């Protein structure tokens, strides 16, 4: 299947410092691709460079074969690229319903927003049951769910997620994973940056492994998880004899 989003030969960083060196990743419709690796490997910088939140020194970003390198983030959202940062991803002083309204800022007409919110509440009934609750009163898992739901209000074709499972205990983590699978089944492409290597690869179809800002390994997620050298380097598992 032809990829919907491609980052080619990306060098990215902040100020004058290059953190990501010549990395290429892609994701197709109805697919989850994972970017994994140790802390400080450049995972978040790579995904941020796609939307201009990190500096793109070199490389190109293609969306539906169209070069969108350097596009402002608000235009990327209008094109169909959603982004959920790791932190500060909801408005704590607003209710769940109000947060969703904020996610629909690119839509016009109350009826359109109402329909979109109804669809989101159907996918996230846990949020519908508490739509008048303030975001600051939500648990970590509920807050992450709301952040993803808010991004979905803009009806993205691609969803970029930065550490969606970070600091979550097993139960809410499993719930987020289930929601991402539901989203994938609708045909949306998901590119996920995740510290938990094993969970990310179990969730995804393909994986990209970054080490010190460079691509160390790539391939089908199942193949990476079955690779002894990969397990030794990134999962801390001993090779089976």
Is beta strand 189-193 parallel, antiparallel or unpaired with respect to 206-211?
unpaired
Query: What is the pLDDT averaged over residues 2-30?
Result: 97
Instruction: Please tell me the distance from the alpha carbon of residue 99 to that of residue 96, in angstroms, as a whole number.
Output: 5
Instruction: Please tell me the distance from the alpha carbon of residue 173 to that of residue 176, in angstroms, as a whole number.
Output: 5
pLDDT digits (tens, 9 = 90+) for 100-148: 999 887 666 667 788 889 999 999 999 999 999 999 999 999 999 999 9
Of 163, 135, 140, nearest in space to 150 by CA: 135
pLDDT at 57 (0 to 100):
97
Angle at 138 between CA 153 and CA 145, to 5 degrees: 35
pLDDT at 163 (0 to 100):
94
Instruction: Please tell me the distance from the alpha carbon of residue 93 to that of residue 133, in angstroms, as a whole number.
Output: 10
Q: Which residues pair with 209 in a beta bridge?
A: 36, 217
Contacts of 175 (CB under 8 A, 6+ apart): 126, 141, 145
Query: What is the pLDDT averaged over residues 67-82?
Result: 92
pLDDT digits (tens, 9 = 90+) for 151-208: 999 999 999 999 999 889 999 999 999 999 999 999 999 999 998 899 999 999 999 9
Contacts of 217 (CB under 8 A, 6+ apart): 207, 208, 209, 224, 227, 230
More confident residue, 27 or 108: 27
Q: Which residues pair with 7 in a beta bridge?
A: 25, 61
pLDDT of residue 241 exceeding 50, the answer is no
pLDDT of residue 32 exceeding 80, the answer is yes
Question: What share of the chain has pLDDT > 70, as a percent?
Answer: 95
pLDDT of residue 97 exceeding 60, the answer is yes
pLDDT at 109 (0 to 100):
64
Domains located in the chain, CATH noted: 3-87+156-235 (3.40.50.300)
C-alpha dihedral (35, 183, 135, 199), degrees to nearest 10:
-40
Query: What is the pLDDT averaged over residues 59-70?
Result: 96
Helix (H, G, I), strand (E, B) or coil at 48: helix
Q: Quote the mean pLDDT of the chain.
A: 92
* 237 DSSP 8-state letter: P
Q: Count other Cβ atoms within 10 Å, centred on residue 110.
A: 9
Question: What share of the chain has pLDDT > 90, as a percent?
Answer: 79
pLDDT at 107 (0 to 100):
65
Contact 46, 7 (CB under 8 A): yes
Instruction: Please tell me the distance from the alpha carbon of residue 152 to that of residue 149, in angstroms, as a whole number.
Output: 5
pTM beyond 0.75:
yes
């Amino acid at each position: 299947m032809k990829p919907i989003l491609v980052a080619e030969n990306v060098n990215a960083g902040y100020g004058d410092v290059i953190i990501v060196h010549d990395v290429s990743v892609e994701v197709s419709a109805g697919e989850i691709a994972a970017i994994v690796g140790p802390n400080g490997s450049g995972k978040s910088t790579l995904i941020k460079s796609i939307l201009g939140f990190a500096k793109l020194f070199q490389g190109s970003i293609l969306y539906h074969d169209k070069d969108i390198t350097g596009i402002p983030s608000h235009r990327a959202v209008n094109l169909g690229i959603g982004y959920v940062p790791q932190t500060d991803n909801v408005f704590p002083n607003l209710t769940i319903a109000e947060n969703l309204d904020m996610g629909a800022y690119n839509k016009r007409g109350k009826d359109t927003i109402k329909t979109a919110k109804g669809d989101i509440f159907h996918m996230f009934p846990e949020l519908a049951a508490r739509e008048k609750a303030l975001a600051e009163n939500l648990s970590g898992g509920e807050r992450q769910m709301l952040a993803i739901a808010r991004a979905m209000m803009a009806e993205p074709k691609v969803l970029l997620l930065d550490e969606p499972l970070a600091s979550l205990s097993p139960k809410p983590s499993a719930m987020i994973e289930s929601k991402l699978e539901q989203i994938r089944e609708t045909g949306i492409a998901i590119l996920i940056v995740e510290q938990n290597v094993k969970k990310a690869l179990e969730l995804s179809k393909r994986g990209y492994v970054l080490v010190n800002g460079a691509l160390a390994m790539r391939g089908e997620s199942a193949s990476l998880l079955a690779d002894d050298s990969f397990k030794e380097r990134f999962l801390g598992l001993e090779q089976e004899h």
